Structure 1
Amino acid sequence: MNSEFQKEISRRRTFGIISHPDAGKTTLTEKLLLFGGAIRMAGMVKARKAARHATSDWMAIERERGISVTTSVMKFDYRDLEINLLDTPGHQDFSEDTYRVLTAVDSALMV
């Protein structure tokens, strides 16, 4: 394997954030993006119309209901690492999405 390719692979860290509904997965994702320097201001899951919505809740239905219905992937650089965060849905109706995420991540953070 090419050494440059191997170096790029070793820089990547992929985390899935999982839990039951309303445990704070999206809020934690926002804080990690904020402290990692990917965003300047953290949004809120149940933001009012004038307030800033969560970065990972990009679909209109997610913003209306205040829940994640699909996994969102956010990426940012932190020190010499490339961090991939996967914010998963918590509701049972969307659990298959969460199960698929667990097959693709390096680590899972259970809230």
Structure 2
Amino acid sequence: MSIELQSELEIAVDRRRNFAIISHPDAGKTTLTEKLLLYGGAIHEAGAVKARRAQRKATSDW
């Protein structure tokens, strides 16, 4: 692995944050998660969150 690639990887890992959103059903977990993704720049349009393999999909009431 080149030093430049390793440096980019280290920066990406340093910026990563993991957290859990736990609550009762219909408490707004998907809506909150979608807002965080939208404001964080991970998605460009609110309304649906898809799993990586697109096997599961959650649609918000937004």
TM-score range, shorter chain: 0.5 to 0.7
Q: Distance in 1 between matches of 2:24 and 2:42?
A: 26
TM-score after normalising by structure 1: 0.35
| Structure-2 separation of matches of 1:8 and 1:39 | 17
TM-score under structure 2 normalisation?
0.57
**Structure 1 gap ranges (5+):** 44-53, 67-111
Go from structure 1 to structure 2 and tell me whether the alpha carbon gap of 1:42 and 1:18 turns closer, same or farther (over 3 Å shift).
same
Structure with the bigger percentage of helix: 2
- Higher percent of residues as strand: 1
The equivalences for 1:74-93 within 5 A come to none
Could you say which structure has the greater relative contact order, defined with CA pairs below 8 angstroms and 6 or more residues apart? 1
Instruction: Check if 1:55 corresponds to 2:49.
Output: yes
Residue among 33, 36, 48 paired with 1:32: 36
Query: Number of paired residues?
Result: 50
RMSD: 2.9
> Deviation of residue 9 (structure 1)?
4.4
Say which of 20, 23, 27 aligns to 1:16: 20
Structure 2 residue identity aligned to 1:15: F
Paired residue secondary structure (2:20): strand
Do the aligned partners of 1:26 and 1:56 also contact (CA within 8 Å) in 2? no
For residues 57-108 of structure 1, the C-alpha deviation after alignment (integer angstroms, 9 at most, x for no partner) is 6526x66xx8xxxxxxxxxxxxxxxxxxxxxxxxxxxxxxxxxxxxxxxxxx
